[in-house]
Every structure is written in structure tokens, then in C-alpha cells.
């Protein structure tokens, strides 16, 4: 299908949407923003419903809504999780602008009795596999070292797992960490971990909204085949200055927000830094062989927004984060330096053409860099990789009728990828091997989707996405002999097309309501992924290499099917669901058997195969009362099959988890004390282990098992936390609380990895080889002091 045919199809699709006016009655439109009444922050995903018709819409990513109704008098019911519902009478005789403020429940005094509207969005929405995480709930759950981490909280939901002890990477429905599209204010985050994955890069004090979509990805998202994690930063208080922060066991953070000009412009800045280096330094004697070793990370978030008029608004936001690891062995004159990090900058312009048509245009600059430097005596070696993007996209929300909410747009991204570059120096001699090349590519996409409500029982979200990926010059293609020596080459000039991939990605989710408390949902989605993270381990370490689709590397392709039953009980105090899914994955990438890192192009060591995963997810969530929490259980399988690996036989993926159970409980004893606890149990990671040991010319040699034939011991632990929020006798601006938490209460020694220890001598007949387990975290108590004023 040529580019002109694709454009023609999209225009026909949009025209088809536009002519679906289901009523000949005279209609008028109510439009505006849903906001927090105190901070003036916009609220994403708030529900606005006309009670008399039982129809409504949700606010978009910028809090904007538009509702077209026949002429008449209506009661608008506005609701949002964690806020007091509001009812507003309107006499609709013409188009009108109406901003809707909601009061946060946390801002209410304890004497006020909250009469909450039924919370049934999980039953009424067509979207499947969506998790909306509020930061107030995230801060109530105990985590390691007391550091609030939205990614670790998401791992407690069914269908989402981690890679092992403490790791913040997400493995969704049998997919790998690179198969998740992670966005921070529309900027792609390529490495989401600090401290080699033990903490995520997301500072809870800077985050407004976190949404994870596990299945049935809407057409507006693309470029990944497993899930979408969409995170929005706070905009800044439009009414007053506000400062908050926290002092924890290993890190501290501080945030400041407020108006630049009231009701016109605001800002938010937030910073966080660990002091692991300062805590460890007293234990390393000055002049010792490890003097100078250390580790720290820091990150910085900033956002500015300016309201030009009721129709135009500008947002500027950025993130900058760095990790720095230094290892020094003065005795052996050996130093290792490992810095890595992300930088993003987003500029977004909102424009309202008319009340029914909202546009957002975004420009993004993104840079991820990793470097490994080693120095011994006078020899220095540096290995570096990275990826840099420039992105421009436009999205339009078209509120055609209450039954149809359309969304369509386009995206262009310029990629500059450096998979792996090695260099060295010996005294004054510099080595620049002719190794991996920098690769350049363009990524293009167009999409259109319709959220269509067919009466009271049926709701369908259907859409179509077309995407293309072009590898561009300059690029040199080499032919090599079996030993990897280059024999011939074919060069492409700057801007010359090297390879083009393109295809359609249809998406659809649907809901059928059996009654007000029960619905059945189903979804099917086709996804294409053009960038790949290739690793030789089970964790999201920064040494993993991002590579693009090229002449040799094809895009990953997937189909995902899912279905589920959603049922609420006791006036929506309990939400329950059962979901099943099946996902097929083509063009999966692994390193070939016997791979060892080298300075050649990593593509030469790739092998390609397929994968598939399937499972069921069970979820019970209690949302009301002093005791809240949830239970999530996943029964799942994830397989891979490569002609060049494991003798062509299928094997479990390294993130295959048969059983995954999470139990979370939060109990508010009083306005002063809140208790919470987490219990997790998971099948151990799949691993490959040596099965036989033998001597060859006096050297102990290993013979390994089939890939991932064995399992680590099951993982389980219990965490506990208590939050003390003192209530002053007199009203004060300063608010604070203490969080006392215990990670791994019964000090379970969960395996991180196994290694084999060799003792004795083969020549003396005393050689013994024994498997040893390495565990990371025993019981860890921590204290965090949080403040706000």
C-alpha cells in the first residue's frame, strides 16, 4: 500500500466519522476544563455525565472536555477518583464554556461526611487492562528504603511483574522491558531505572498522573508491542506557592510550585538526590585500596505553563537524570567509571479551534547516553552507546456527539542510534577501531480512532494506525568472511533510503453491559515495534543495547487478544475482574549461543525467532471504607522459539512467571495513623545452569543445560509501613508526616543469582564444586520524613 493510498484511507475514515450525526435535533455544546479547586491543576480522565440522558464524556490528557446535547435543562454529574463528586444544573440554550472545579477528598476536614457517586468506571469504560495509579495511593504502599516508586507499585497489579529482587523494570503479559512504551509528558524514556534498576527515574513529588494500559492499546499509541505507561508531570499551582519534600534513608527530594501570574502562568520544579556515596564514604578508609569508589544518582524535573487565552496554552517541561558509579582498586591500579542517564525536553501547544475540536501539538527532544570507562595503569578503554530523538506530533480530539468522541493525528520522529562504540588509549597511542556505526532513521505514523457509545449496553473503541520506519544514510553495509573480516562494502549517502518498513495496525476494544454493575469486554490489537533493546541478562541494566530496524533486523510484530468479565459489588465498594489474553510475537531478537561482547556491530551476533504468551488475571479491589487494598493473581506462560537457539526447541522466556500473587492492605486507624502491608509471591525466574563439570588440560569446563531449564527458588516477602501524620492544635501551613517501613519483614533470602564456587585441587582429588546463592536485601527498616507547606 503506497503512502497516497494510506492518506486517502485516513481522510475517508475521518469523513465517515464526521457524518455520523445520530440526531437531527438542535444541539449545543458545553466545553471547558475539569480542575482541582485548590491547585487549579487539570484532571485527566474525569467523567462528565448528563444525568437525564445517561451520556457523558471523559476529560482528555489536558483536562479538556466537550459535551454536545439537545437544547434543554440538564444536571451535569462530574466525578474523579479521590475527589468529591459535583452536580451542576445547566440551562443549555446556546454553546457555553464551563470550567468544573472538584474538591480533593484529602482537602476536606474530618467532620465532613462524603456522599460519593458510584465509582463504576472500570465497568462502564470500553478500555481493557488499564491501571490508573494515584500518587496518594502509591505513597501509602511500603517500598524498599522508603522511596516511593510508581513502577514498583504497578508491579503489584495482575499481568505486571518484575525481573527480580528490587528491580523497577516492567514485564507486561510475557513481554520484555523494551516492549513497553514509557512516556513522560509525551517524551519517550529509554532507561527507566536508577541504581542498575533498583529505583525508577520517576520522582513521586513531580508526578500528577500515571496510567498503564496492558492490552487493547488505543491507536494513538504505537512503537511498542506490549503496553503503554503514560506519566504526566504536575503543572504547578496557579493560586499559591507550595513547597514539599522528604528526607529518607538513602535519598532526599524537594519540590517547589506556584503561580508566576495568577490564573495565567505557573511553574513546578522538583529535584532528588541519593547520598549513598556519603553514607558509604566513612566506611572506606582514606588511602585504602577502594578509596574513591562510590555511587550516586540525581534527577531534576521542571515544568512551566502559560495561558495565552481561553483557546491557547503553552507547556514546557523537562527531565534530566544521571547515575554515576565509580569503582577504584588502588592496589591493582584499576578504575571503572560508569555514567548514564536520560534528558528530555517537551514543548506542547494546546489550541481550541471551536468547542468540539481540541488540538495539541508537541515537539520533543530526547537523549539517552551510557558510557563504561575502564583504566588500568596507562591503558584506558571506553565503551559507549546512546539514542537521540527529535519528535514532532499533532493530536486532535473531536467531540462530534455524545455518542462519538474522535481522535486523530500524526507523528514524525528522527532517530540517531549509536548501538556500541569502543575506543582505547595506551599512553599517547589512541585506538579507534572500525566498529559499530551510528545509525539514522525516520519514524512516521498516522492514526484515527472513534470512541463510540451504541445505546446503554454497547460501547466500542475502534481505530486504525499506519506506521513506517526508514533507515537512512549515511550507512555502509559490509560483507564479511566467516571470521568477521570485512571483504566488500556498499555505501549509502546522507539522506539516502537504506531500508523501509511499513504497515497497518488495526485496534478495537468493546464493552457489553449486562447491568449497572457487570460488563463483558474484549479487545484485539496489532502492533509494530521498530526499536529493540537487546540484552544478555534478565534485568534492565544500562549496558543493554538499543538497536533500530535495519536491513538485517526486522520490526517486531504482535497480535494481542483479550477478554474479561468486570463486576462490582456493594455499591461499587468492591471491584472485581477476570481477564484472559493471548499474544503472539514475531521477529524476536536474542544474542546467538556463545556470545561474548566485542567491538564489532552487535547485529552480527543476533539471532531471530518468535514468541507467544497467554494467561489469566484475577483482581479484587476494595475502594471504600477505612480498610482498602487489592489482591491480584496471575497465572501465565511465556515462550520463545529460535531456530538457532536451544536446538530449535521452545523454551520459557526469562520473564516467564507461572504464578504471581500480590496482596495489598491499607488501614486508616485514625486521622493520625495509617497502616499498610504488602505480601508478594512469585515463581522463580527461569535460568540456565551448568549440568556437568569436566577437566580439559587441567582447566575446569562447564556444560550448560537447555536454555532456562531451571528455576530460581520462589520469590516471596512481606512488607509493612506505618504513617504518622500529627494534627496540630492550631491550623498551620506546615504539614508533615513520618513513614516507618520495614521491607522484607521475615528476612526472606530471595535468590538474586547463583554462582559455582570451586575449592580444592583436581590433581589431588580434592576438587569440589558447590552452587552458591547470592541474595540482596535482608530485613530493611527505614524512616522517611515528608513535609509540605
Q: 181-214 pLDDT, tens per residue?
A: 999 999 999 888 887 667 788 888 898 888 999 9
* pLDDT score of 455 more than 60: yes
d(CA 207, CA 218): 23
Confidence band for 22, pLDDT divided at 50, 70 and 90: very low
Contact 295, 278 (CB under 8 A): no
Q: Which of 95-104, 220-229, 463-472, 541-550 is predicted with the least confidence, judged by mean pLDDT?
A: 541-550
**Of residues 691 and 358, which shows the higher confidence score?**
358
Say what the pLDDT of residue 735 is: 83
Q: What is the mean pLDDT of residues 575-597?
A: 88
Q: Give Cα 331 distance to the centre of its chain.
A: 42
Burial 420-432 (b: 16+ CB within 10 A, else e): bbbbbeeeeeeee
Q: What is the mean pLDDT of residues 73-87?
A: 85
Return mean pLDDT, the chain.
Answer: 83
d(CA 57, CA 455): 14
* pLDDT score of 114 more than 50: no
Contact 547, 603 (CB under 8 A): yes
Q: Which of 321-335, 518-532, 628-642, 711-725 is predicted with the least confidence, judged by mean pLDDT?
A: 321-335
Confidence band for 694, pLDDT divided at 50, 70 and 90: confident
pLDDT in tens, 619-644: 999 988 889 899 999 999 999 999 99
Percentage of the residues of the chain whose pLDDT score is greater than 90: 34
Task: Please give the helix or strand (H or E) that residue 450 lies within, else none.
Answer: strand 439-454
Confidence band for 130, pLDDT divided at 50, 70 and 90: confident
Outline where 140-218 has alpha helix (H).
Answer: 150-154
Task: Please give the helix or strand (H or E) that residue 121 lies within, else none.
Answer: helix 121-124
Q: What is the mean pLDDT of residues 460-465?
A: 94
Say what the pLDDT of residue 531 is: 94
Q: What is the mean pLDDT of residues 120-134?
A: 79
Say what the pLDDT of residue 693 is: 78
Q: Which span out of 221-225, 327-331, 370-374 was modeled with the highest average pLDDT?
A: 221-225
**Of residues 481 and 577, which shows the higher confidence score?**
577
Say what the pLDDT of residue 330 is: 64
pLDDT in tens, 255-270: 999 999 888 899 999 9
Say what the pLDDT of residue 688 is: 86
d(CA 768, CA 487): 48
Say what the pLDDT of residue 431 is: 63
* pLDDT score of 538 more than 50: no
Task: Please give the helix or strand (H or E) that residue 660 lies within, else none.
Answer: strand 659-668
**Of residues 201 and 138, which shows the higher confidence score?**
201
d(CA 638, CA 622): 30
Contact 199, 153 (CB under 8 A): no
Query: What is the four-CA torsion angle of 512, 662, 683, 648, rounded to 10 degrees?
Result: 30
User: Which among 21, 387, 422 is positioned nearest to 189, based on CA atoms?
Assistant: 387
Q: Give Cα 342 distance to the centre of its chain.
A: 14
User: Which among 518, 655, 647 is positioned nearest to 585, based on CA atoms?
Assistant: 655
Confidence band for 558, pLDDT divided at 50, 70 and 90: very high
pLDDT in tens, 263-316: 889 999 999 988 876 666 666 667 666 666 777 888 999 999 999 988 899 999
Say what the pLDDT of residue 341 is: 87
**Of residues 739 and 116, which shows the higher confidence score?**
739
Say what the pLDDT of residue 323 is: 86
Say what the pLDDT of residue 373 is: 77
Amino acid at each position: 500500500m503506497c503512502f497516497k493510498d494510506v492518506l486517502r484511507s485516513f481522510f475517508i475514515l475521518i469523513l465517515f466519522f464526521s457524518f455520523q450525526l445520530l440526531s437531527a435535533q438542535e444541539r449545543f455544546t458545553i466545553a471547558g476544563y475539569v480542575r482541582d479547586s485548590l491547585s487549579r491543576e487539570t484532571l485527566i480522565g474525569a467523567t462528565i455525565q448528563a444525568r437525564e440522558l445517561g451520556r457523558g464524556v471523559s476529560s482528555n490528557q489536558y483536562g479538556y472536555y466537550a459535551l454536545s446535547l439537545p437544547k434543554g435543562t440538564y444536571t451535569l454529574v462530574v466525578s474523579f477518583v479521590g475527589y468529591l463528586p459535583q452536580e451542576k444544573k445547566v440551562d443549555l440554550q446556546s454553546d457555553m464554556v464551563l470550567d468544573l472545579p472538584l474538591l480533593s477528598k484529602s482537602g476536606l476536614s474530618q467532620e465532613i461526611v462524603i456522599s460519593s457517586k458510584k465509582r463504576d468506571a472500570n465497568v462502564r469504560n470500553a478500555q481493557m487492562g488499564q491501571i490508573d495509579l494515584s500518587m496518594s495511593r502509591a505513597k501509602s504502599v511500603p517500598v524498599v528504603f522508603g522511596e516511593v516508586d510508581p513502577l514498583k507499585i504497578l508491579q503489584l497489579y495482575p499481568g505486571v511483574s518484575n525481573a527480580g529482587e528490587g528491580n523497577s523494570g516492567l514485564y507486561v503479559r510475557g513481554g520484555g522491558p523494551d516492549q513497553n512504551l514509557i512516556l513522560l509528558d509525551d517524551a519517550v524514556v529509554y532507561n527507566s531505572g536508577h541504581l542498575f534498576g533498583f529505583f525508577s527515574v520517576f520522582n513521586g513529588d513531580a508526578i500528577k498522573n500515571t496510567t498503564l494500559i496492558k492490552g487493547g492499546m488505543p491507536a494513538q499509541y504505537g512503537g511498542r508491542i506490549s503496553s503503554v505507561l503514560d506519566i504526566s508531570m504536575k503543572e504547578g499551582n496557579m493560586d499559591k506557592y507550595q513547597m514539599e519534600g522528604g528526607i529518607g534513608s538513602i535519598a532526599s527530594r524537594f519540590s517547589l510550585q506556584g503561580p508566576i501570574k495568577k490564573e495565567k502562568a505557573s511553574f513546578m520544579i522538583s529535584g532528588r538526590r541519593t547520598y549513598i556515596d556519603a553514607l558509604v564514604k566513612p566506611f572506606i578508609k582514606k588511602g585504602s585500596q577502594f578509596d574513591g569508589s562510590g555511587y550516586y544518582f540525581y534527577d531534576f524535573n521542571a515544568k512551566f505553563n502559560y495561558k495565552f487565552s481561553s483557546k491557547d496554552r503553552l507547556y514546557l517541561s523537562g527531565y534530566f537524570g544521571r547515575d554515576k558509579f565509580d569503582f577504584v582498586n588502588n592496589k591493582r591500579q584499576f578504575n571503572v567509571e560508569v555514567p548514564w542517564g536520560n534528558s528530555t525536553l517537551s514543548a506542547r501547544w494546546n489550541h481550541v479551534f471551536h468547542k468540539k475540536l481540541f488540538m495539541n501539538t508537541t515537539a520533543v527532544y530526547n537523549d539517552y547516553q551510557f558510557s563504561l570507562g575502564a583504566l588500568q595503569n596507562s591503558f584506558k578503554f571506553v565503551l559507549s552507546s546512546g539514542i537521540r530523538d527529535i519528535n514532532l506530533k499533532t493530536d486532535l480530539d473531536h467531540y462530534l456527539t455524545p455518542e462519538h468522541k474522535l481522535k486523530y493525528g500524526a507523528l514524525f520522529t528522527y532517530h540517531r542510534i549509536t548501538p556500541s562504540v569502543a575506543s582505547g588509549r595506551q599512553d599517547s597511542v589512541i585506538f579507534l577501531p572500525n566498529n559499530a556505526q551510528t545509525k539514522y532513521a525516520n519514524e512516521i505514523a498516522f492514526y484515527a480512532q472513534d470512541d463510540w457509545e451504541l445505546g446503554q449496553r454497547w460501547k466500542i473503541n475502534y481505530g486504525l494506525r499506519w506506521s513506517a520506519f526508514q533507515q537512512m544514510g549515511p550507512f555502509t553495509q559490509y560483507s564479511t568472511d566467516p571470521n568477521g573480516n570485512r571483504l566488500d562494502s556498499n555505501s549509502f549517502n546522507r539522506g539516502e533510503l537504506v531500508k523501509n518498513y511499513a504497515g497497518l495496525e488495526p485496534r478495537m476494544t468493546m464493552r457489553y453491559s449486562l447491568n449497572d454493575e457487570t460488563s463483558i469486554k474484549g479487545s484485539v490489537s496489532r502492533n509494530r515495534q521498530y526499536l529493540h533493546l537487546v540484552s544478555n541478562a534478565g534485568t534492565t541494566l544500562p549496558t543493554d543495547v538499543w538497536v533500530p530496524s535495519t536491513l538485517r533486523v526486522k520490526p517486531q510484530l504482535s497480535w494481542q487478544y483479550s477478554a474479561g468479565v468486570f463486576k462490582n459489588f456493594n455499591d461499587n465498594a468492591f471491584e472485581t475482574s477476570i481477564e484472559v489474553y493471548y499474544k503472539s510475537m514475531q521477529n524476536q531478537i536474542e544474542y546467538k549461543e556463545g556470545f561474548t561482547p566485542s567491538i564489532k556491530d552487535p547485529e552480527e551476533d543476533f539471532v531471530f525467532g518468535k514468541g507467544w504468551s497467554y494467561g489469566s488475571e484475577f483482581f479484587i479491589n476494595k475502594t471504600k471504607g477505612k480498610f482498602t487494598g487489592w489482591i491480584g493473581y496471575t497465572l501465565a506462560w511465556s515462550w520463545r522459539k529460535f531456530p538457532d537457539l536451544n536446538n530449535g526447541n521452545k523454551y520459557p522466556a526469562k520473564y516467564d512467571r507461572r504464578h504471581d500473587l500480590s496482596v495489598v492492605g491499607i488501614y486508616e486507624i485514625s486521622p493520625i495513623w495509617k497502616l499498610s502491608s504488602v505480601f508478594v509471591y512469585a515463581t522463580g525466574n527461569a535460568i540456565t545452569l551448568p549440568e556437568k563439570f569436566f577437566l580439559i588440560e587441567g582447566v575446569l569446563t562447564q556444560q550448560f543445560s537447555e536454555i532456562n531449564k531451571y528455576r530460581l527458588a520462589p520469590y516471596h516477602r512481606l512488607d509493612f509501613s506505618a504513617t504518622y501524620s500529627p494534627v496540630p492544635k492550631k491550623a498551620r501551613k506546615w504539614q508533615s508526616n513520618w513513614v516507618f517501613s520495614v521491607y522484607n519483614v521475615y528476612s526472606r533470602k530471595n535468590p538474586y543469582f547463583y554462582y559455582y564456587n570451586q575449592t580444592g585441587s583436581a590433581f589431588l582429588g580434592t576438587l569440589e564444586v558447590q552452587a552458591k546463592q547470592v541474595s540482596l536485601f535482608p530485613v530493611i527498616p527505614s524512616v522517611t520524613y515528608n513535609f509540605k507547606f
